[in-house]
Amino acid sequence: MPTRDLLEAWGERFTNQLRTELDKGDYPFSPGFGMNRPGQPKYTGNKNASGGLRDSIEFQVVGDEKSGWGIELYMNNYWRYVNDGVSPSKKYPSSGYISGGGTSPFISSLVQWFSDKLGITGKEALGRAFGARYNIWRYGVAPSYFYSNALEEIIPEMEEQFGDQYFEILQQIITSRVIKDIV
């Protein structure tokens, strides 16, 4: 059975690898969910506009010797969209508001993304946010698979350190009692 210290060390290693995966600069901009967007993306970049998701990744070892140890992971609640992508929609997105463009939480977050990523503000950022909303609706967002990529990266290290016994530790990390969303 894994000990608290062992899970502490591998929890730290895994969360660092999650951050590294988000920092990689090889994600194509706007290829669509199934790489279905016409034309080839011209640029690649990382998944860190503001660094909010990256900075939110934390873990905590939970449990005790009697009930067993586990790991809880904490990430901003949109991690699933970054990891799994967003498929195109048949229904055009509505802000839920009758007027006041840019006031919906989705448009506001896109405006913030353009501000963080490109350094633009005001009407230019708002215009790009509406364009991005249309493209997300039409083509979706490609998945990054940063979570499974991080696991694939640390598995050989665990196999090397523990041999055939790495499975129990890996299972503790993968099943991680829960991944808790934080806002």
pLDDT for residue 18? 93
Q: Give the residue, 157 or 19, on which the prediction is more confident.
A: 19
Copy the structure tokens of residue 175. 């099943």
Lowest average pLDDT, out of 58-67, 89-98, 164-173, goes to 89-98
Q: Give the residue, 43 or 112, on which the prediction is more confident.
A: 112
Q: Give the residue, 103 or 52, on which the prediction is more confident.
A: 52
Residue ranges per structural domain of the chain = 1-88+142-183, 89-139
Is pTM beyond 0.85? Reply is no
Query: Which distant-in-sequence residues (6+ apart) come within 8 Å of 1 by Cβ?
Result: 68, 69, 168
> What confidence category does residue 131 fall into, taking pLDDT thresholds of 50, 70 and 90?
confident
**Residue 3 scores a pLDDT above 90:** no
CB 49 within 8 A of CB 38: no
Locus of tokens 């690898």 = 17
What CA–CA distance (Å, rounded) separates 73 from 120? 33
Compute, in degrees rounded to 10, the torsion defined by CA atoms 27, 33, 36, 38: -60
pLDDT in tens, 29-65: 665 555 656 665 555 666 777 788 899 999 998 888 8
pLDDT for residue 102? 44
> What confidence category does residue 20 fall into, taking pLDDT thresholds of 50, 70 and 90?
very high
CB 150 within 8 A of CB 59: no
pLDDT in tens, 9-18: 888 999 999 9
